[in-house]
Structure 1
Amino acid sequence: MPATRPGSVTFVAVLTYIDGVLGIIGGVVILFTRDQMVRASDAGAVAGITTSAILSIILGIVVLIVARGLLSGSRFARGLVTVVMILNAVSGVILLFSLQFFSGILEILWAVVILSLLYTQRANTFFASRG
């Protein structure tokens, strides 16, 4: 019998959904306001901003898919979130060495909180039962 989804996994999935939605909204806003960000004659900057906006929208959609995977117990989604959180922690350490202590500590703490929620005993049981 499959284990029921623990609240910690649901909480991480909700945070992931919020992140994906905000990424999509941010990309759309940038896409529609890119002309106000730089001079229209600077085609290279406009192209760069457009590319960034489109990538943000695509990444937001991928994040929504990963959040859905977390809710359904996908071990791939859990692994992907784990890799991203490890990269965030490494980024936080780099920020500490570049004298951006507050940002670095926040990055590290965020990664630790998300990973600790995804790897509780109940979460381990939930993901293991979804083979």
Structure 2
Amino acid sequence: MSAATARPARVTFIAVLTWIQALLNLISGIGLLVFQNDPSLRVQFGGSAGVIITGILLIVIALVTFSVARGLLRGSSIARAIVTLVQLLAIASTVYTAILLPNQLVGAAISAAISLIIIVMLWSGRAAEFFRS
């Protein structure tokens, strides 16, 4: 990134949202590990191994997500590609959800729209210039 290319506000906004998502995943993962002996959690996750594995996976995902957010702030094209891929998977997931659960159509449409907005924000205008430089 050249010194002449300042980070656009939309990239900062998306990175902050990514940090928040990472923090929520971290808290959830730690919470699962702390409360792994809760009987209702064990039932929901198919036993204590399910609770522990899910907790560890959430923590790992959080750490990766923190790294991706940092990459966005630094202008990393790899970070932008990862966020784009995740958003495309989210869109596919919401379409799948809407097909299986038609009563979730409105929520799925909103989620898909947000994902599409994030992709457009990362690949257009000043943000595109920022990641090219």
Same fold (TM > 0.5): yes
In the alignment of these two chains, the number of paired residues is: 126
2:62 aligns to what? 60
- C-alpha deviation, 1:39, in angstroms: 8.5
1:118 aligns to what? 122
Give 1:35's aligned amino acid.
N
State the SS of the aligned residue for 1:4: coil
The separation in 2 between residues aligned to 1:31 and 1:73, in whole angstroms, is 34
Q: Percent identity?
A: 36
TM-score, structure 1 length as denominator?
A: 0.90
1:20 aligns to what? 22
Distance 1:39 1:71, change over 3 A: closer
1:106 aligns to what? 110
The separation in 1 between residues aligned to 2:126 and 2:40, in whole angstroms, is 50
Gaps in structure 2 of 5+ consecutive residues: none
- C-alpha deviation, 1:38, in angstroms: 4.3
- C-alpha deviation, 1:97, in angstroms: 1.0
State the SS of the aligned residue for 2:38: helix
1:83 aligns to what? 85
Distance 1:18 1:39, change over 3 A: closer
The separation in 1 between residues aligned to 2:131 and 2:68, in whole angstroms, is 14
Gaps in structure 1 of 5+ consecutive residues: none
Whether the 8 Å contact between 1:23 and 1:59 is mirrored in structure 2 is yes
Runs of 4+ in 1 over 4 A off after TM superposition: none
